[in-house]
Structure 1
């Protein structure tokens, strides 16, 4: 297993206070080392003398000089007799932490006894190093206990830095099994932004999560939250059902949770043959059939006719009839574009008209056009009313990528059905591919406004390229028009 280590370097107001308090130290160091010479003969000369790195080096050196310390920290580990001793400086602790300021109100205190959990005690030295120099190197499995320490001692900049690190390194954390635990931790600390980022990563990479050991560690609340989403990326709905079945067997949730989870499966998206097989062979379904039999019956009714006829009697504009992001060839196609910055490309593929079993023989042919550089409508409107110079100033290399998807099939056969197009953008990190972005639109990615805006497809080193190729997956979702009213 590969170990990932990252350096966090966070600056805050407290660092500035340290700079002021140790100004004498900086000046003496600058004179001794001759760090910078500036000619000030011209009275109009403006220069900046920056020796902050020297200060950081000196502050870091204080950690190893116990003879200059004025406070001793004794950190006890859990309930054991084990103790870690650190020699620190009253002034630094008070400047960086409100908690230490409260603990050290009595200036005569020379020893401070602290109690930490084993996982936090191991990282206490890293917390001290951050307090002294604003920098700390961490491993993926350090982030939660280090954040606990930063929270306990109210070191706000370090708290925020770790949260940002977690948000940006979910792909690195997944192979080591941290994403689900990070989500659960974000719930405990009430960080809604990190919660959503974790849920989104899990949803967009659901097929991989299902196969990992993290799947069994998902809490009841998280499982319910995930199953309510329409942006789950899976092969098909059947994959979700069998994965949920295994989760139920492993975790044995209470009856209420089990019913909620089973009702969150979109049975109408599973073909009748597999629905019969689930009813016949699934032990979980047999035990809780009474909870979902009405949904199964509704699914069979949906498959018995076209959505257009079905919509005359039932409301089809609810999540039960909305496809998720299915990777099956029935609903889209993978598209690998070699050298995507070179020129326009096109491809064609077929999808099923609707999930209804009555439409299995009906296919829609789609044409997709990829353009690596195009002129946004807003710019075109501007350039037509301006001078020719404005058009010349526009650099094609700075243009935006765009994808347009249109059907070649006669639209008359689409009566009652709209189509949402979804594009998954896959990238590769540490030997694993994962979905980085999901874009939804009706015809062109121009509708999203930010399609591959930061991709830098001109650069071979772009994180969006795998072996110099752009990996997309196009998904077509049939969405039923709300114009048809169900008969009351």
Structure 2
């Protein structure tokens, strides 16, 4: 029997005796023990090692380092590493990582560390480098809960690029989604300077970008290119090398700008831009493709559609200008009765191209934020009469009806009498929410659907979680204690969680934006549901 098993058996036996005597008392003095360990660090007692970072020495203890970090454990216990016998080890860290290193080291002794939007990334980089798994988890949790604030303060791009590079997929995906659905947030000069070329290319290839129109994306890319030009001007490259690098950047990034999604008036303005004049051959080719599409000369662009990138040029993104949808705002949400229905009506253009624009498509959107109630009814068909039972659905439903498609009917033989024109569209449901007081688009649901006389209505369920939306406000989450007391994961008093999807001063406004983009048969929509 092992030593651990002996202890377990003895403990179990002693517990039985103590229970019988009813005199046992379990004492938890772990805080006092942790305080003693922290004192070793604070007063630099009995240190047997010094870590040197950026010329500063930090006394430490091999035992604590090995217990906290797998990397230090290998470094200090493996005889194949020269560090195992050294009393002073020089660590090479970046300046920003060196600035937080004392807090990082103190965490080994105390289990406490202050992190902020500014420091969480260097702390995470150290935790990753030295494989301090619990600290990695804490940093990633902080990031996921402060993404909106990071965007507001100009840190989101650096968070996104680091987590993508290091395989922190969940946080990286959350950062990418925020950037895609709130592109205007990364238009500040500071964020543009942080945005790397590969990240921009990945962004430009997405069809679920939420932005005003394609022209606004063009101006965003121009601003990014100006930042790269400034960076090149401070480099040691020759003028010829700078020009060659800049030319390659122009082709790489603007190849993913979807010029066919711009109207002729916007394309005409681009012809006068200095960048177009500077790279005339490249942009003239792109403009010709766009003008052929806009004028309905689709045979001229058939060759372009042979590739994946070519097909994407004719795939609309989620444009928020009034031409393509509307905002559904529901005020006084908490006073709404169960199964309440709110109806919105708007119209959209039938095509992205500048042809056949004389007739708009009319849409009706019925929003059911408090569930759907189907009353008991009777259905009369040729075979007889059937009772339809009452049903209640606990779901948030958006019912989208194409009013332009004629009503479907059948003749006396039961055959289709009116099929009507088909309308093929990509629908985007943009759900607004709030995180740490910052309002933004928190989720996007996409559908591709073909409306016709036989299929005039599309029901979309699950764009919002019914239970989360309709849970009473300000009830503390299960993971937190009552307001004013302390949360196990926090050193400060926790506040009750804010409702995720309700906006406004009183957290009583629900906001959803519906975007309906027309599609043609050569639009590539990928694997959209």
Q: Where on the TM-score scale, by shorter chain, does this alignment land: which range?
A: 0.7 to 0.9
Partner of 1:427: 433
Partner of 2:459: 444
Partner of 1:283: 274
- RMSD across aligned C-alpha pairs, in angstroms? 3.8
Cα 1:75/1:225, change in 2 over 3 Å: same
Tell me the TM-score normalised to structure 1 length: 0.75
Aligned-partner SS, 1:141: coil
| Unaligned 5+ runs, structure 1 | 1-19, 28-38, 378-390, 484-488
Aligned-partner SS, 2:42: coil
Give the alignment of 1:331-410 within 5 angstroms: 331-340=324-333, 342=336, 343-374=340-371, 399-410=394-405
Deviations 1:416-469 (A, max 9, x none): 6412211111223455422110111342222xx463356333434412111210
Structure 2 residue 469 is the aligned partner of structure 1 residue 456: yes
Structure 2 residue 129 is the aligned partner of structure 1 residue 152: yes
Partner of 1:477: 517
Cα 1:55/1:186, change in 2 over 3 Å: same
Once the two structures are TM-superposed, the CA of residue 363 in structure 1 deviates from its matched residue by 0.9
How many residue pairs align between the two structures? 422
1:113 aligned to which of 89, 93, 108: 89
Once the two structures are TM-superposed, the CA of residue 228 in structure 1 deviates from its matched residue by 1.0
CA contact (8 A) 2:311 2:522 kept: no
Write the distance in 1 (CA, Å) between the matches of 2:330 and 2:116.
Answer: 35
| Unaligned 5+ runs, structure 2 | 12-17, 230-244, 375-388, 407-417, 450-457, 474-497, 524-529
Once the two structures are TM-superposed, the CA of residue 404 in structure 1 deviates from its matched residue by 1.4
Tell me the TM-score normalised to structure 2 length: 0.70
Write the distance in 1 (CA, Å) between the matches of 2:179 and 2:100.
Answer: 28
Write the distance in 2 (CA, Å) between the matches of 1:432 and 1:89.
Answer: 43
Aligned-partner SS, 2:313: helix
Deviations 1:316-349 (A, max 9, x none): 9921111111110000111211133522211111
Partner of 1:40: 19
Instruction: Name which of structure 1's ranges 119-128 and 237-246 shifts more when overlaid on structure 2.
Output: 119-128
CA contact (8 A) 1:404 1:445 kept: yes
Partner of 1:225: 202
Once the two structures are TM-superposed, the CA of residue 218 in structure 1 deviates from its matched residue by 1.7
Once the two structures are TM-superposed, the CA of residue 138 in structure 1 deviates from its matched residue by 0.5
Write the distance in 1 (CA, Å) between the matches of 2:121 and 2:358.
Answer: 52
CA contact (8 A) 2:146 2:435 kept: no
Aligned-partner SS, 2:500: coil
Cα 1:239/1:444, change in 2 over 3 Å: same
Deviations 1:251-293 (A, max 9, x none): 13532221121221111111111111211x1111122231233
Write the distance in 1 (CA, Å) between the matches of 2:420 and 2:263.
Answer: 21
Partner of 2:291: 300
Cα 1:42/1:362, change in 2 over 3 Å: farther
Write the distance in 2 (CA, Å) between the matches of 1:265 and 1:414.
Answer: 35
Cα 1:185/1:354, change in 2 over 3 Å: same
Structure 2 residue 64 is the aligned partner of structure 1 residue 92: yes
Instruction: Name which of structure 1's ranges 112-121 and 361-370 shifts more when overlaid on structure 2.
Output: 112-121
